[in-house]
Amino acid sequence: MIKVLITEDSPVVRGYLKYILDSDPEIEVVGVAKDGEEAVEMVALTKPDVVTMDIHMPKMDGYQATRAIMETYPVPIVICSASWNPEEVDKTFRTMEAGAVAALEKPRGMGHPDSEASVTELLKTVKLMAGVKVVRRWSHDRKKSVPKKDKERKVTQEKISASKDIKLIAMGSSTGGPLVLQTIISGMPKEYPIPIVIVQHIAPGFLAGLAEWLSRTTGYSVNIAEDGERLKPGCAYLAPDGYQLGIDKSLKVHLNDEQPKQNLCPSVSYFFKSVAKTLGKQSIGVLLTGMGKDGADELKLLKELGAITIAQDKETSVVHGMPGEAIKIGGASIVLPSTQIAEKLVNLTIKTENVES
């Protein structure tokens, strides 16, 4: 049984969350907290496998409670947020900085057309996050929890060298992605001469907040891509909700609402396939933490076309599904911890000498 502690100030939402979680035979609700202060106390008493965390609460909000929990009794925390509130979205990403592993929009009520999908997503996320290993935060600096001496590991024995005319950095990420993207983008030079395009799976309503949070915390220009827009160097672009993103040879964005076989929109697979078709070895593919296998086959396709491909390692991934699948099928040229990806991208694209691996 997966033991869950619910933290939510609204009695109605508390009851609904308990009803949803109790309906799954693999989950046991071991406690219900009405504010962050109560949640901190109950974590030590109930020893849950997962905590669901509201953001806006009296006495102690979700951000403060997450910091306290991660410093005293670290446990996977899943944020259940009202994503339409800009202030709450901003605090959601700050809470992820403090140690929360995933963020979801609060489940839709019965009768809403998205009710079943939101309930399914909550149950799936809670079960998956129960197996995530988290670390105690001895300070509020999340970087201290990441080993500093991780070594790069090559997956294959081939000699890797960068093309001199790389035109695009193509990234895909899902669960755990926002913090990894923050780490990577923070390490990129502000005048980086190559555009970065990212497909990040995220709950509807959070994307604009993610773009704003990444821009503010990294100092880099991060925007949501628009149809017909030509990509610019020194900028990062996020694929918009509900659209597939493709790129043509002139680095022009093409959006459509085509649904892929995995029913993901946007899809890393669709994006990487477009990059493979138009740019091939003039791109670098990067597949980051996330559940499932979206983008794994297409990362291998990029590699077969001569592109350098990077997969995040297991140790720094919240979920090693997507990059792990790419590594398993031979789609990654290089495997790196999240803390070393930015440096590698800079070395591959700005330095002219061959890269030692």
- Residues 216-240: what's their mean pLDDT? 96
Which residue out of 174, 274, 283, 333 is catalytically annotated?
Answer: 174
pLDDT of 147 over the 60 cut: no
Please say if 294 is a catalytic residue: yes
Backbone angles phi, psi at 284, to 5 degrees: -120, 125
Please say if 112 is a catalytic residue: no
User: Which structural domains are found in the chain, ordered by start?
Assistant: 2-142 (3.40.50.2300), 153-349 (3.40.50.180)
Q: Give the whole-angstrom CA distance, residue 54 versus residue 6.
A: 9
Residue 8: what residue type?
E
- At residue 139, the pLDDT reads 52
pLDDT of 160 over the 90 cut: no
Q: What is the DSSP string of 110-160?
A: TTSTTHHHHHHHHHHHHHHHTT------SSS-GGGGS-TT---EESS-S--
**pTM listed for this prediction:** 0.86
pLDDT digits (tens, 9 = 90+) for 79-94: 998 766 667 778 889 9
For a pLDDT cut of 90, what percent of the chain falls above it?
74
- At residue 301, the pLDDT reads 98
pLDDT digits (tens, 9 = 90+) for 229-280: 999 999 999 999 999 999 999 999 999 987 765 678 999 999 999 999 999 9
pLDDT of 149 over the 60 cut: no
pLDDT digits (tens, 9 = 90+) for 93-139: 999 999 999 998 888 877 777 788 889 999 999 999 998 888 776 55
Which residue out of 35, 49, 201, 283 is catalytically annotated?
Answer: 201
- At residue 132, the pLDDT reads 87
Q: Rg of the Cα trace of the chain?
A: 20
Least confident of 45-49, 65-69, 95-99, 340-344: 95-99
Task: Indicate the average pLDDT of the chain.
Answer: 88
- At residue 262, the pLDDT reads 66
Please say if 24 is a catalytic residue: no
Which residue out of 83, 294, 320, 333 is catalytically annotated?
Answer: 294
pLDDT of 48 over the 80 cut: yes
Q: Give the whole-angstrom CA distance, residue 273 versus residue 286.
A: 13
Tokens 């000498």 belong to which residue? 353
- At residue 197, the pLDDT reads 98
pLDDT of 21 over the 70 cut: yes
The angle that helices 321-328 and 296-304 make with each other, rounded to 10 degrees, is 40
